Amino acid sequence: MPDTRTTAESGRLQEEIRRRNLGTLLRHVHLDGAVSRAELAERTGLNRSTIMGLTAELVAAGLVREELPVGTGKAGRPSLVVRPESDRVYVLAFDVAVDRLVAARVGLGGVVLDRVETVRQRAGADLDSVVRVLAGFGRRLHATAPPGTVCAGIGASYCGMIRPGDGMVRYGPDMGWVDQAFGAELGRRLGLGLPVAVGNEAHLGARAEQLRGAGIGARNLIYLHGDSGVGGGIIVGGALLDGEAGYACEVGHMVVNPYNGRPCMCGSRGCLEAEVGERALLEAAGRPADMFGWDAVRSVVDAADRGEEAARDALRHVGDWLGIGVANLINLFNPGVVIFGGMLREVYLGSAAHVRVRIADHVLAVSRERVKLRISALADDTTLIGAAELAFAGLLRNPLEAVPEREPLAAER
Amino acid sequence: MPDTRTTAESGRLQEEIRRRNLGTLLRHVHLDGAVSRAELAERTGLNRSTIMGLTAELVAAGLVREELPVGTGKAGRPSLVVRPESDRVYVLAFDVAVDRLVAARVGLGGVVLDRVETVRQRAGADLDSVVRVLAGFGRRLHATAPPGTVCAGIGASYCGMIRPGDGMVRYGPDMGWVDQAFGAELGRRLGLGLPVAVGNEAHLGARAEQLRGAGIGARNLIYLHGDSGVGGGIIVGGALLDGEAGYACEVGHMVVNPYNGRPCMCGSRGCLEAEVGERALLEAAGRPADMFGWDAVRSVVDAADRGEEAARDALRHVGDWLGIGVANLINLFNPGVVIFGGMLREVYLGSAAHVRVRIADHVLAVSRERVKLRISALADDTTLIGAAELAFAGLLRNPLEAVPEREPLAAER
């Protein structure tokens, strides 16, 4: 009896190892776009015949293709290059930001294949109206996808606190949402038979920048996302800091100015986002109360570049508070990189000197030895790409089983 | 050839699994003091015969003993109870705090067997003088240990920023230390042929409270340690937050009062430790400048309990700032528990209401749903026990090989 059990266990272990190896290979191809078999062998420590067997399985599943590399100039038989089937396997990604609603079809390999976007009205955005727009976008993207393509997952980025597991928006201050079943409702309205994975925009942004942006390979990364407020995504030892229930990283509500602080949407006062958010900058620059949005923020940074004193003062003021916030985070997290994304990209570019002065003033010398400050490399798509990566997660965990309803490929018909 | 290789690999894997299982078993016994074989089987998922074989190995190595349990009242053959050989296997633990130098012999199972302590003069504590005292303590503890006992490791807690790996004190503001080779020097002076593992006091305190104190089993825990300043140890997803180079968790240097803040030892202003540290409390209570130390802090809390207005005002003031700091940490980490240790235990007990008001004011409702506030359960020994656990780490990783110079046990001679 022990022998039988050992054999069965050993079989399960083998199968588990094979599944993991398939996922690892597909992940490399997905993230790099094109990797030679030799490189895959080197990175994974697997021998070439194992790599060949695994890629053959991925090819058969329609997930990757193998090609002869374009002339390498080296002697000997060249190693085949493995590429993701970006045109064939895709996810639907949604981005619910303060200013806009975006939907995209993103191919394996992270290629944005198709995209729709609309300006979002700030007032009166209830669950029904937001989901109706997104579901319409999503169904259209799916319906117009070429024949033989397959949707491997759905992900959405939302500007609020998200319950892991079911995509419930626990708190979306900008829209006034409390406990709204966003993920479930979007999934139902899309009607594609796939669940919608939802994440907080800055959490997803952190992951996107770590995988494809300004923090590639970083194990300890802080991503600050400026929308109208400030969100945070913090990667600790390679993994997202989620805390006890998934609600960590609320950087925007770190109190930096407790006694003279501006009121914050959350009901508190002197929060980082109250001091450096869109409203703080526009008011400090003397802009009218009906100006808002990224374009307005950009116009202040541009005006400062052109020498406008009010705009420069505003950036100095906001940069000062941003620097205090970042200094606190460096003391707390000893990160390798801090990345400014969304609207904070512009704000940081316009106030980097002030931010750096604050870091020099407030961060312990030992804690700042290794830290780099960067702007996001994925521009306006950081959170959208993060949503796409969330959608790809199932496929990368289990490449051969995560595409249940795969349609026949064109070549097979 | 593949078969031979598979067999060799399989052998290595088996050996690795056995080693891990031994470590896991010893860890359970070490942390719980006494665990029945049946309970060990239940916790590890290993069957009883495997448990029997592994405990036999640990018994042979002199690490545990097995005993019949005291009458359980149940029918049937009782499961043997496994206990750590606390009197036989010990570590040396050192604690360098602002006020005191402590050394102890701590037995497997976490039992303090023997202990020496001296008040530390605040001024003029150079590396040589500190190490001389500690090495003297350590050698004496080791020399007076009963025959047949064995030292399995050495650990030290230090009130400053420690480079992982070699125990270099990168920054010890209280003693004015910069880049002092504390771990290496203490190891050399002890002359026991064992390296000294060194950790930051609050990092070690967090681990100690998680293993044996107020945070047992917590996966997301914040430990705040009050010495003269404020240290932090933060556990994220079960592991200590160490950041890029081991210097994370500098909670005491989070700026909470940037414009009206008190000057801090680090050279900055308005740091949490400047607002809630020993000096801030004693000055707010109108105590003379030559009063300091834990006893002085305790006397203020006692005076407040007796109704002294100045002491009450001081605690209100300090509790207010402490609350802001803790609120920020809860927003950032979404922890399960926040533990106040060292001097902050007294301060929190005297100001809990103010701390809680600040948390209610500044923490997002979703983020505070699960958080508990606790005082340390290991009293004045939190950091010392943390140092002991650091010293035991090698033994628990590899129980049969980490005691290289094991002396013959009394029974064997």
Token output for A98: 């303060």
- Across the interface, whether the CB atoms of B243 and A268 are under 8 A apart is answered no
pLDDT at A4 over 70: no
More confident of the two residues A120 and A204? A204
What pLDDT score was predicted for residue B296? 93
Are B364 and A171 inside 8 Å of each other by CB? Answer: yes
CA-to-CA dists, residue A362 to A50, A304, A352, B88, angstroms: 52, 26, 15, 48
Kindly give the pairing relationship between strand B239-240 and strand B230-236: antiparallel
The predicted structure's pLDDT at residue B78? 77
pLDDT over 60 at A87, yes or no: yes
* pLDDT above 80 for A121: no
Closest chain B residue to the Cα of A268, Cα to Cα: B362
Which residues in chain A are closer than 8 Å to B259, comparing Cβ atoms? 257, 260
Q: Do A334 and B246 touch (CB under 8 A)?
A: yes
pLDDT of the residue at B73: 59
Mean pLDDT of chain B: 92
- Of the candidates B170, B239, B334, the beta carbon closest to that of A244 is on B334
* Arithmetic mean of pLDDT, B173-178: 90
The span from the CA of B8 to the CA of B176, in Å, is 54
Could you say which of A246, A324, A370 has the minimum Cβ distance to residue B244?
Answer: A370
Nearest to A250 by CA among B383, B265, B329: B329
Q: State residue B182's pLDDT score.
A: 98
Residue B2 predicted with pLDDT over 80 = no
Of B383, B199, B364, residue with least CA distance to B294? B383
Residue A1 reports pLDDT greater than 50: no
Half-sphere exposure of A213 (CA within 13 A, CB side): 30
- For residue A409, is pLDDT > 70? no
Class of domain B216-377: alpha beta
Residue contact A242–B239, C-beta within 8 A: no
pLDDT value, residue A75: 63
Residue A344 neighbours by CB under 8 Å, 6+ apart: A224, A225, A226, A230, A276, A322
pLDDT band at A5 (very low <50, low <70, confident <90, very high): low
Rounded Cα–Cα distance for residues A392 and A105 (Å): 12
* Confidence category of residue A129, pLDDT binned at 50, 70, 90: very high
**HEC string of B34-81?**
CEEHHHHHHHHCCCHHHHHHHHHHHHHCCCEEEECCCCCCCCCCCCCE
Statement: residue A402 has pLDDT above 70: no
Locate CATH 3.30.420.40 in chain A: 89-204+383-412, 215-377
Q: B236, B317, B358, B371: which to substitute to probe chain A, counting the most A Cβ within 10 Å? A: B236
Q: Over range A7-28, report the average pLDDT.
A: 89
Query: Which among B171, B232, B369 is the nearest to A366, CB-wise?
Result: B171
Q: Decide if B366 and A170 are in contact by the 8 Å CB cutoff.
A: yes
> pLDDT for A179-214, tens place per residue?
999 999 999 999 999 999 999 999 999 999 999 999
The residue among A17, A200, A241, A244 with the most chain B CBs within 10 A of its CB, best to mutate, is A244
Among candidates B171, B254, B324 on the partner chain, residue whose Cβ is nearest the Cβ of A331: B254
According to CATH, what is the number of the domain B2-84? 1.10.10.10
CB within 8 Å: A245 and B369: yes
According to CATH, what is the number of the domain B89-204+382-412? 3.30.420.40
Phi-psi region for residue B102, left (φ > 0), alpha (ψ -120 to 50) or beta? Answer: beta
Average pLDDT of the residues in B376-390: 96
Predicted confidence at residue B224, as pLDDT, reads 98
pLDDT surpassing 70 at residue B122: no
Percent of chain A with pLDDT over 90: 84
Measure B351 CA to nearest chain A CA, in Å.
18
Q: A152-185, pLDDT tens digit by residue?
A: 999 999 999 999 999 999 999 888 899 999 999 9
- B247 vs chain A: nearest CA distance in angstroms? 6
Does domain A89-204+383-412 fall under CATH 3.90.1150.10? My reply is no
Amino acid at A265: M
Residue extent(s) of CATH 1.10.10.10 domains in chain B: 2-84
Q: Nearest chain B Cα to A10, which residue? A: B10
Instruction: List, in order, residues 6 or more apart from A132 with CB less than 8 Å away.
Output: A189
pLDDT number for residue B294: 86
> Residue B406 pLDDT more than 50?
no
For B309-362, the pLDDT digits (tens) are: 999 999 999 999 999 999 999 999 999 999 999 999 999 999 999 999 999 999
Q: CA B75 to CA A402: how far, in whole Å? A: 51
Reply yes or no on whether the pLDDT at B36 is more than 70: yes
Q: How far apart are the first and last CA of chain B?
A: 47
Q: d(Cα B282, Cα B272) in Å, to the nearest integer?
A: 15
Question: Which residue out of A47, A332, A337, A361 would a mutagenesis test of the B interface target, given it has the greatest number of B Cβ atoms within 10 Å?
Answer: A332
Look at A6-10, A297-301, A342-346 and tell me which has the smallest mean pLDDT.
A6-10
Q: Which residues of A touch B246 (CB under 8 A)?
A: 334
Whether residue B236 and residue A232 make contact (CB cut-off 8 A), yes or no, is no
A chain contacts of residue B253, beta-carbon cutoff 8 Å: 331, 362-364
Contact A332 B268 (CB under 8 A): no
Could you tell me which of B248, B198, B256 has the C-alpha nearest to residue B386? Answer: B198
Q: Please tell me the predicted confidence (pLDDT) of residue A73.
A: 59
At A125 the pLDDT is 86
- For the cut 60, the answer to whether the pLDDT of residue B411 exceeds it is no
Q: Chain A interface, mutation test: which of B367, B370, B371, B373, most A Cβ atoms within 10 Å? A: B367
Q: Do B332 and A332 touch (CB under 8 A)?
A: yes
Contact A366 B219 (CB under 8 A): no
Nearest to B245 among A327, A328, A369 (CB): A369
- Looking at residue B69, its pLDDT comes to 82
State the DSSP H helix or E strand holding residue A92, giving kind and residue range, or none if neither: strand A89-96
| Integer Cα distance of B199 and B197 in angstroms | 7
Q: What integer pLDDT is reported at residue B8 of this predicted model?
A: 76
Question: Are B302 and B281 within 8 A, CB to CB?
Answer: no
Neighbours of A52 (CB within 10 A): 15
**Angle, CA of A309, A314 and A315, to the nearest 5°:** 100
Selecting from A234, A241, A362 the residue whose C-beta is nearest the C-beta of B268 gives A362
The more confident residue out of B174 and B191 is B191
Q: Decide if pLDDT at B409 tops 80.
A: no
For A250-260, the pLDDT digits (tens) are: 999 999 999 88
For residue range A328-337, list pLDDT tens digits in order: 999 999 999 9
Question: How far is residue A93's CA from residue A384's CA, in Å, rounded to a whole number?
Answer: 6
pLDDT, one tens digit per residue, over B263-309 is 999 999 999 999 999 999 999 999 999 888 889 999 999 999 999 99
**Shortest Cα distance, chain A CAs vs residue B83, angstroms:** 30
Q: How confident is the model at residue A2 (pLDDT cuts 50, 70, 90)?
A: very low
DSSP state letter for A250: -
The answer to whether A336 and B143 have CB atoms below 8 angstroms apart is: no
Task: Tell me the C-alpha distance between B123 and B125, whole Å.
Answer: 6
* CA A248 – CA B364 distance, rounded (Å): 11
A409: exposed, middle or buried (C-beta count within 10 Å: 0-12, 13-18, 19+)?
A: middle
Residues of chain B within CATH 3.30.420.40 domain(s) are 89-204+382-412, 216-377
Contact flag B245-A171 (C-beta cutoff 8 Å) = no
Interface touch A171/B241, C-beta < 8 Å: no
Residue whose C-alpha is closest to residue A234's, from A253, A217, A220: A220
ipTM: 0.92
- Chain A hits for B248, CB-CB cut-off 8 Å, are 332-334, 367
Q: What is the mean pLDDT of residues A275-303?
A: 94
Bridge partner residues of A199 (DSSP): A157
Closest CA of chain B from A92, distance in Å: 29
Q: Cβ separation of B364 and A237 shorter than 8 Å?
A: no
Q: Which residues of chain B neighbour A367 with C-beta distances below 8 Å? A: 161, 243, 247-248, 250
CATH fold of A17-84, please?
Answer: Arc Repressor Mutant, subunit A (1.10.10)
Asked whether residue B7 carries a pLDDT value surpassing 80, the answer given is no
As given in the structure block, the two tokens for residue B177 are: 């230390």
**Model confidence pLDDT, tens digit, residues B223-245:** 999 988 999 999 999 999 999 99
Q: Above 90 in pLDDT, residue B144?
A: yes
Distance CA A81, CA A389 (A): 23
Strands in A133-279 per DSSP E: 150-158, 161-163, 168-172, 177-180, 196-200, 221-226, 230-236, 239-240
pLDDT of B198 over the 70 cut = yes
* Contact at CB, B247 and A366, closer than 8 angstroms: yes
> What are the two backbone dihedrals, phi and then psi, of residue A115, each rounded to the nearest 5 degrees?
-160, 140
CA B60, CA A345: separation in Å to the nearest integer?
63
| Model confidence pLDDT, tens digit, residues A61-72 | 999 999 988 765
Kindly state the greatest CA–CA separation across chain A: 83
Name the minimum distance, in Å, from the CA of B254 to any CA of chain A.
5
Give the pLDDT band of residue A78 (cuts 50, 70, 90): confident
What is the per-residue pLDDT for B74?
61
By mean pLDDT, which of A211-215, A221-225, A259-263, B104-108 is the weakest? A259-263
Residue A390, both tokens: 């969330």
Split at pLDDT 50, 70, 90, the class of B75 is low
> Do the Cβ atoms of B244 and A220 come within 8 Å?
yes
Residues in chain B: 413
CA angle (A331 as vertex; B347, A171 as ends), nearest 5:
80
Half-sphere exposure of A72 (CA within 13 A, CB side): 12
User: Looking at residue A368, what is its pLDDT?
Assistant: 93
Indicate whether A403 pLDDT > 80: no
In terms of phi and psi (left: phi > 0; alpha: psi -120 to 50; beta: otherwise), the region of A62 is left
What's the pLDDT band for A122 if we cut at 50, 70, 90?
low
CB atoms within 10 A of CB B394: 19
Q: How far is CA B135 from CA A308, B89, B92, B146, B171, in A?
A: 64, 20, 11, 19, 21
Report the pLDDT averaged over residues B67-93: 85
Q: Which residues are A232's β-sheet partners?
A: A224
Query: Taking the domain A215-377, which CATH number applies?
Result: 3.30.420.40
The residues, any chain, with a CB within 8 Å of residue B132's CB and separated by 6 or more, are B189
pLDDT reported for residue B9: 77
- Percent of chain B scored above 90 by pLDDT? 84
| Contact state of A365 with B336 under an 8 Å Cβ cutoff | no
Q: Return the minimum-mean-pLDDT range out of A207-221, A302-316, A345-359, B59-73.
A: B59-73
The first and second tokens of residue A209, run together, are 């920048």
